[in-house]
Amino acid sequence: MADNTYDFDLLIIGSGPGGYVAAIRAAQLGLKTACVESRETLGGTCLNVGCIPSKALLHASELFEEAHSGALERFGVTVTGAKLDLKAMLAEKVSAVKGLTDGVEFLFKKNKVEWLKGHASFEDAHTVKIGRKKVTAKEIVIATGSSVTPLPGVDVDNEGGVIVDSTGALALPKVPKHMVVIGGGVIGLELGSVWRRLGAEVTVIEFLDQILPGMDGEVRKEAAKLFKKQGFDIRTGTKVTGAKAIKTKATLTVEPAKGGEAETIEADCVLVAIGRRPNTEGFGLDKIGLETNARGQIEIDGEFRTSVDGVRAIGDVVPGPMLAHKAEDEGIAVAEWIAGQVGIINHDVIPSVVYTMPEIAAVGLTTEEAKEKGHEVKVGKFPMMANSRAKTNRDTDGFVKIVADAETDRVLGVHIVASLAGTMIAQAAQAMEFGATSEDIAYTCHAHPTHSEAVKEAAMAVQGKPIHM
């Protein structure tokens, strides 16, 4: 498809999960493709300072807690003198990240994707400037991702290690005695979990009246109960009005969200985790007349086209959940559209996972959303406590909940709290992609003994007929 009018058929700005996947797929489809990235490594936030390093620390901290807390003794494994080597733990995280970012670089070379190193800025709809160099492309895809949302009155200084964002919280030089997490969402709870397991006292401050905004009501209640049991101090309905770092300590001022008397809290480390915002500034969008919506996102049509001809956008900069796998699927779809094929992504079936212990995973509508959309619903719930494998593993926190349409029995949403929820949710997403009813899941044979049998039993519970409870 090479068009000699331009340097490239396709230029992608950003090499995160959306950008790098789009670049590889486009190259596979025969497009002359380049990807602009200003970091020293490919992979964006997710691989460098997000999903991957946080999972490395979550896994390592779980292993430490198992060995240190005596949890293994009931299985006949006695560990004495277990010590934390934080330096080694952080080095393993770095090694995991390097392996994966090097892997993306290898895939670029294998697929003949050109990596243009530097920061891209639009000159016009088909031209970007990278340093002193200008590059042209027939189509340009904006995949610049998102960054941490700042909190007014709280200055983040990752180097100082006292008031940090998610990037700083992945590399603290020592375990804080007391960590305050501002924000009871996914990132705050995951990173709070890491440091709590390594020995910190963790206080979570959430402005809303419940943690995990946007998730199913029952899941939010269950999660709060489990995290409190683990030793988190969760303070909901609370607003942070300021935080100051003095040497190695921080002082926060907080007050009730609905108004009331202010108080101060002292901490060794404050993690600001109130969300992320799209990266749309500094790329010269004004030069091509591309405006963002009220939330700072770039609006697109069903083929990812922006209002500017020849410019498309995917991932965290466009509406929808800010999730790596959503960006990846959009990356494949946008490349296929540009190559003259049909790109397919079903935005109604995007799973989401919170990698705490237990994990929390969801796909589709919550009970509340289903009712708001006018569905009469039937709900089936099955506790992990009644699942034979979970019982054997002493791993019984949580449940599986299936929300189905009362009339058609079609599955509208699945919500799982369980140690393996992130893996279990794939089955639910696939079932929903095929338009499954709860009966379809209930009559699918599941291997025994597995955690996944709880999904089958929850589907049977939709009809009011689970076997093991």
**Is the domain covering 8-147+277-338 a CATH 3.50.50.60 domain?**
yes
Range(s) for CATH 3.30.390.30 in the chain? 352-462
CATH of 163-274, one of 3.30.300.30, 3.40.50.620, 3.50.50.60, 3.40.50.1360: 3.50.50.60
CATH of 352-462, one of 3.40.50.1100, 3.30.390.30, 3.90.1170.50, 3.40.1410.10: 3.30.390.30
Range(s) for CATH 3.50.50.60 in the chain? 8-147+277-338, 163-274
Residue 270: the pLDDT is 98
Does residue 176 have a cis bond before it (omega within 30 degrees)?
Answer: no
Give the annotated binding-site residues for FAD: 55, 144-146, 316, 322-325
Q: Which two tokens stand for residue 377?
A: 């619903």
Is residue 184 within 8 Å of residue 272, measured between CB atoms?
A: no
Sign of CA dihedral 27, 30, 36, 40: positive
Token pair 């589907």 in the structure block, residue: 459
Give the annotated binding-site residues for NAD(+): 183-190, 206, 275
Which residues have C-beta within 8 Å of that of residue 190, sequence separation ≥ 6?
A: 54, 58, 354, 355, 356
d(CA 72, CA 317): 44
Residue 4: the pLDDT is 81
How deeply is 210 buried, as exposed, middle or buried, from its count of CB atoms within 10 A (0-12, 13-18, 19+)? Answer: middle
Residue 3: the pLDDT is 61
DSSP codes, 101-150 = HHHHHHHHHHTT-EEEES-EEEEETTEEEETTEEEEEEEEEE---EEEPP
Q: What is the pLDDT along the chain (469 residues), one digit of tens a residue?
A: 456 899 999 999 999 999 999 999 999 999 999 999 999 999 999 999 999 999 999 999 999 999 999 999 999 999 999 999 999 999 999 999 999 999 999 999 999 999 999 999 999 999 999 999 999 999 999 999 999 999 999 999 999 999 999 999 999 999 999 999 999 999 999 999 999 999 999 999 999 999 999 999 999 999 999 999 999 999 999 999 999 999 999 999 999 999 999 999 999 999 999 999 999 999 999 999 999 999 999 999 999 999 999 999 999 999 999 999 999 999 999 999 999 999 999 999 999 999 999 999 999 999 999 999 999 999 999 999 999 999 999 999 999 999 999 999 999 999 999 999 999 999 999 999 999 999 999 999 999 999 999 999 999 999 999 999 9
Residue 24: the pLDDT is 98
The bridge status of strand 352-354 relative to strand 359-364 is antiparallel
Q: Which two tokens stand for residue 402?
A: 């299936």
Give the annotated binding-site residues: 55, 144-146, 183-190, 206, 275, 316, 322-325
Task: List, by residue number, the catalytic residues.
Answer: 448
